[in-house]
Structure 1
Amino acid sequence: MSLRRMLFNFRLKKPLMAIGVSILLLSIALLYHALMSEDSVRSGIFSLPRENRRGFRFQSKMEQGIDENGLLIQSANELLLQEEMQSVQERDLLSAEAKEAAANFLSQLYPKKWSTATETDEMALELKHLLADFGLGGALGCRDIDQMKLGNTITFSRTKTLEFISKEDFSNDNSYDQGYNGGMRVINNGPSMALKTFSGDSETKIACMKEIYDPEFCEVMGNYRLLRETLLLSILHHPGVISLKGYCLRGNRLAQRLQDKGILLLTESGSPLTQSITHSSNWSQQLWMALQISRLLMYLDRSPVGSLRFNKLDLKDFVLVQNKDLKLADLDDLVPGEKSCSSVSDCEHNGKYFPCNKGHCHGLNSHINLNLAIINVLSLILSRPQTGSGGAAKDFVKRLTKLEFDSTAAVAAEIQELLKQASPVRPIVMKESISVNTPRKKNYGVESMNQANLDHDSQQKARDGESVVFSSGAVSQFDRYNRTNFPGIFDYPCSGSRVTWGCFHTVSSLSEVATMCVSDPRCKCFITFSTKPESESLMTVVMKNSSGLENSRSSSGTTLFVLRSGYINREDDPLKQWESAGRDSHKVDEAKQIMPVVGRSTEHHAGGRFNDNNSRDLAVNDDEDEENAEDKSYGDGSKSFTEIARCLDDVAQSMKSAYAAREKRLMTHLGLKGTKELAWRRSAQIQPLEGYSHLVKNSDGGGQFTINLTRPEGGPKQAARRVTFIAEDGPGSYHMAYAVIYHLDRILGIYHTPPCVVRELSVESVKEYQKSAAWYELFRHIVSSDGTLTGILVPPTPKAIKVSKMILQPLDVMVSEVIPFERQDKLQLEYVILWWIGRMQKKHKDHLGYKGHLIHFHADKAFTNTSVDLSGYLNHCQFPNVVYKALNCFRCEGENGPGNEICSLGEEVALRATTMFPDELELYLHQMQEDDIIVSIDAAATAILRLVNKCMQTFGRRNVLY
């Protein structure tokens, strides 16, 4: 009975229990909703993990530049251009809470006292949570970056290293191809980016050590710079600021492996802005660059975190991105907030006073930024104002350099007016198909475009940044002559030229340079530094003011276009007769009689065979226009740069083991056993330098000395401990000659030249070294105007290296039977190949090596003997297969297939060598201009290829190649 009663009572209570549970769940839901609706960040504390909240400090309610309502304080730039202000407002997508949190955290990244500063690994973790909570930063994280491949080092400083990085798999095993082609290749399957990492900061370390003697603590304080940049790039969204692609914040670790590094900052890549770029730009392009910088300065005065001020600003802080946009890439010298003040007297700068408003100097940052930009950047960019326009351009530059402008907006407005009056030129446009990582020559592809003769619609398109199609009819007004040049004569200065003594430009097509030449009454012809100009999308050209063909010279890397003007009677044209005669093989002797090579003695002809090279098939149909010319196979037959790059990539893949073995042998004999060349190069570029020793005077233009490299505490493993610094500018030795031989060596896969990297000695280092009278006397003539010294670092010559005897001897005639080479013979033949192509003067004491492996330690003396002929060594009919495959990539393509001539090897070598020295306009070694060096390299390589092919025809490929 009692059980029945219990069940009955339970049935009555069941609905009541259900109602109670429902009410409880509803209450919990409403409470949760109420809690989530509150402003969780109004006190400056947001959803960090509990273990990190103690270290996260947002004590101040607001920072400078933000008023009590969370709005930006108005700056001195009240004249901000309406269009720019609108674009800034449209990009300002941060919430007030995000701005406040970012501004407060940013202030903590500028410690007033290092002794009380938070450790950088803790700050990195806090920044990581801040960016995650507000959805800031790039799309790529640690895992994505760790899976990428590092390429070449873009630049380095005392605080940071900047390297190319890409999702593309650079799978070649040899370090040269990874280190050079990995970041500077012509073929790009995907866009490369720039990776910025901490490399040590001695300045910050010293400042920290003065306050607290803790080397381990102070060693990594320089990471604050990277943390600042990470935060700033996450919140500054403007066309004038480099785009952040991703970041990785996992402490303050210093390491060599990418996966072990602590702070990684990933941005879009670009070409550093140098004076060679600004000098190669015409007036309109210079104005466009200046306008972009002016607009950036105005944005920084109204940034989401308030007004920002530069501590330092230089050309090298900017890059050209995607071949067109000028962007600020180095942000760690930006400081937030206006200067604190108690009266107007605290707000003085260069004799000018600014109002003290609410405890801060209102407008001071803008004034300081403008002055820094004018002195260190704009005055260098606007170096050659355009004549005409009533002198407005010159007057503007004069007032600018005298710092007569009161606001950045006024500067920007006047630049806009000058752009309307200037020649209608599309500013700083680079073709999308050309990677910024593969600059052609030294101007990184900045176009020099003269469109004065275009119609009004085309001019307006150029002003608006639209594409302008140049008339192909201009090309039809020129006669074409393959492999012909006027070196050193008929030059004249022109506006926008890369050099002062001639009319050098970089163009995107044949029609463009033809249009330029037709519109210039002084231009009678132009030369392209390409043998296939119709297929190039970017090339260097030079215009000449005369076309006397009797003064022409053969040049394997160039093409001459002569304007038809009645000056030359085409029927009586000796060069046309020479080409016509050369079309038939039985008329070669006749062709030589009609048009001999002018201006070169027999010592320049690769042992008397150079004339034959240039009397080959040169079929040209003068009546064909540019459209038909693209499909025509010219007698020159050189491959495009894209074809060459693909071929070299294929060779590198097929010869992996050979390259790796040769690299290992070279590094071992240099005393660097177990060290990869790439690791040595990176170490030499970023390790701090100590004092010098073993000063050696090589010539009147510089010398070399030994420097010890140090390893920062906790830094990556040292691959280089001692290096030789070489800075020479003739007359007997050139450090740029060393770079030429180094790249020639690696392209051919020989590995008989020590590796080298470019390094700039800082102003402080130069001042320290100049305390020695001997050092000062040796290098004072080649120290740059800014107080730095640029040279190359190479491994020092080990003590085990001795003068070696040449066992291999040259033969007068080809052997009747091939005797396979022993190991030492092979090594010495490869040494000879580089000796010949590099045109070096060698004495018995100059043959240095170890166990038969001869090494070119004196590559800085290359091209001192242009008459050298080492063909006798090839009469043994033995040749390295790795070199033969590389040479095949540069064989000229004729109508019947590959020929026996080399095209574009010299141009490829010159391109790679000059890429190392962006401030140099062109190679100039031992009175040889760049085109002379290119011709010399191609001529020697052609002679070698012909001898090898003759041997293979006689004895077979298997018996000749090893």
Structure 2
Amino acid sequence: MSLRRILFNCRMRRPIVALGVSVLLFSIALLYHALMSEDSIKAGIFSLPRENRKGLRFQSKINLGVDGNGDPLAQDSNDLLIQAALESVHERDLLSTETKEAAANFLAQLYPKKWSTATETDEMALELKHFLADYGLGGTIGCQEIDRMKVGSPITFSRTKTIDLISKDDSSSRDSSYDQSFHGGMRVINTGPSMALKTFNGDSDTKILCMREIYDPEYCEVMGNYRLLREILLLSTLQHSGVVSLKGCCLRGNRLAPRLQDKGILLVTESGTPLTQSMTYSSSWPQQLWMALQVTRLLIYLDESPVGSLRFNKLDLKDFVLVQNKDVKLADLDDLELGEKSCSSSSDCEHNGRNFPCSKGRCDGLNSRKNLDLAIINVLSLILSHPPRGIDEAAKDFINRLSKLEFDSTAAVAGELKGLLKQASPVRPLVVRESGNNGMDSSVRHNNYQVESMHQDDFDRSAGRDTSNQEAGGGGGVVFSGGALSQFDRYNRTNYPGIFDYPCSGSRVSWGCFHTVASLQEVAIKCISDPRCKSFITFSTKPESESLMTVVMKNSSDLAISRSSSGTTLFIRRSGYVSKDEEPLGPWGKVDKGSDKVKTYRSADDNNNHKGAGLEPERHENSRKEGSVDNNSLRRDLGADDDEDEDDIADNENEDSRLFTEISKCLDGVSQSMTSAYASREKRLMTHLGLKGTRESAWRQSAQHQALHKYNHLIKNSDGGGGQFTINFNRSALGDVHTGPKPAARRATFIAADGPGSYHMAYAVVYHLDRILGIYHTPPCVVREMSEVTVSEYQTSTAWYDIFRPLISSDGTLTGILVPPTPKAIKVSKMLLQPLEVMISEVVPFERQDKLQLEYVILWWLGRMKKNRNSHLGYKGHLIHFHADKAFTNTSLDLSGYLNHCQFPNVVYRALSCFRCENEKGSQSKSSEVCNLGEEVALRATTMFPDELELYFHQLQEDDIILSIDSAASSIMKLVNTCIKTFGRHVVLY
């Protein structure tokens, strides 16, 4: 009986247990769904904008479309003022007092004072989600919609976040997925999606601060999410035309995951074009004033925002984007801090020698002044750095006072900008009048001069956009059907590497004729105007689609000597147009880089006399630096003396040509006289790199052209921002493995890094600096673009993909540099050479190892590298800069003590002497100042990266890098010359 009862009880318990388990599982599923998905209230979903960080680009590669009827951005100044008035209506504060107080209180929680007691980020994310839902804040796109979106190629990353292109799969949204902007006076059509997705990428700085208080790596790893949470709330409340709009977001924890659907915090923002100095250069004066006015209006708003006064810790021009062709908006809110500084007296509120009042424990007005000073130095001064020649005294006085930080309030700056904008002459679009003349048929009156512009169709053909191009009759070239480009035959994947170079006026480098141009039409005009130019080369296989590209002119048209090159295109001038006696075209012509239209200037009264005249390229260049655009040359002063202008043009051209020629000849002379010294240094370096008997040129050529194969030794940079790996070359791709000589490079280290601690472009700078001076303490490098197929193959590895994903271009390629692998024989070495506090009283000649280490120190100083005693790597006393990608991390570095030994390599001294400054009379100055070395190095480095407009790393602009190099070089020359005066040249130089 008892046995039956037991069996009966067991049968009854089974369904009950099964029912309980089912209920439990169902409850867990409901809870998971609630946590992982959005609430039913749409207001609980938002986004955070994030368009442009230091160097961040939020859209895919740009295709240029030229609008022959002008620039919609070029509006009447009155129209801009009317727009400003309308925007002020839209910017009225619509948040209730209760909402603003609640938002300010919640935002304060997102700035933890102590990380050890801070709320965990997954919990804080859910709290923020419910807060935004309760107050009806946030965007309109939520988790489910974002999860269904199509994520494009990664755009870029910062030290804390990754940004990807994102778009809806629905093709009906096509009209809203394109953003048009103006770059260099041309309409730019951004074919990428109009939204950007931002996710957390890890924040080492916050993690370190957190672990100083509580040693819990797992806990501190995700504390950087607080940055994203702050941005969500800020963008939900800062509803201003000067801040990018919030599209949507997803808050479902703090998880870090590779899949979009598994990520914890997702932010979506509107897209725009990053604001750059080249863009401001190409803008008219009213446009520059308008941009500056928008920035100042934003500063005024941030001083009294709905959540209180906000302060910038950092601010840069690249923190802004241009939206809808005209609106300058803040896209980077990472560095905004909440509230005024706390104080006990006015002495705690000091800034730039001025004390601000301490009211109720806070520095009243300090945030506003700090923001204004930051904006003037890093933003406004760059926007207004290119005023026209004819501006009145009031504008000159304003710019002068602005540069001296003489304004007491942002409102005062905005007031004067508004007044200048009212006075500014309206700049209206060109009105094209068609007359049917052979491609040069569009004209418009401008002041008393006739402006001729190429018809839209002819320009498209000349730029290579016409599909009716016919093949030439000689060796596979292509002839273009219209414009100046029709005088050239095109040969894809062809080059004249290292030969047929010649110096020319306006070149980016002294040893060749290098230019940055905006179209094929522009470079064709340049080549036609130069009797020495018989061909030119673009560092692109699709130059017709490039917005800016580097080109090099060559003085030969011999196709038989050309070589195959995967990344270049050769244009050879057809023999019927080449003549040694050909004169450059007249002085009035100009190729406007801003608009890609060929223009000629002449007096309207003389129009009939000049009808049918040829194109006349620009001959006046105010700067050696190619790529800066002078739109104000379109407006000539009516009272100017034409003869004097032509004389000035000729003088400037002759001076530039003389300077380039002298530097080039000087370096050539040093190279020829120091051939044996260079050869021995190169041989020593290549031997210590495990490449004995291999010439550097052979290694670079081999690494450039061999097919990439398998990789290993994957290393992530400790500071984030990319990494490196060893790559093997595929010899079988070159043909029979057993025939022919062995390739010079069997393997190489691929480095791709874009900050914050290391940059592969910085390595290229140090490399060129090393070779100009003939030191040979830096391994050779070559730029290599990894194809989309190779990237797709490599990124099957999760580890590889996580490291390099932020650096992959929108077209699926990855650009980096190849360097020889570090041999196992290379070890950490000691710096035996010690610095001296004062100059030595009696020179003691250096031994071999001292000489090697001094040359290492010279490059260390010029490259401003941060090193410790364990970062010197070398072999048998020969120290080598294997970590040149970390250059310019210590701009205040001073290694002058090492030169107090009064020993210096003659090869370096002679090279530096080629870059000594000149006085006003043109003779070489007796001083030791160096003026052109930094520019030469920068231009050679940027030539390796044709897609980059200028150098930018470690928060340094190209001008900062140039100044840093020249400053260190000047200090070196001063010390060496002092030693020479004291002890004699033959004693000091070895």
Q: TM-score, normalised by structure 1?
A: 0.45
Find the structure with the greater CA-based Rg. 1
TM-score under structure 2 length normalisation: 0.44
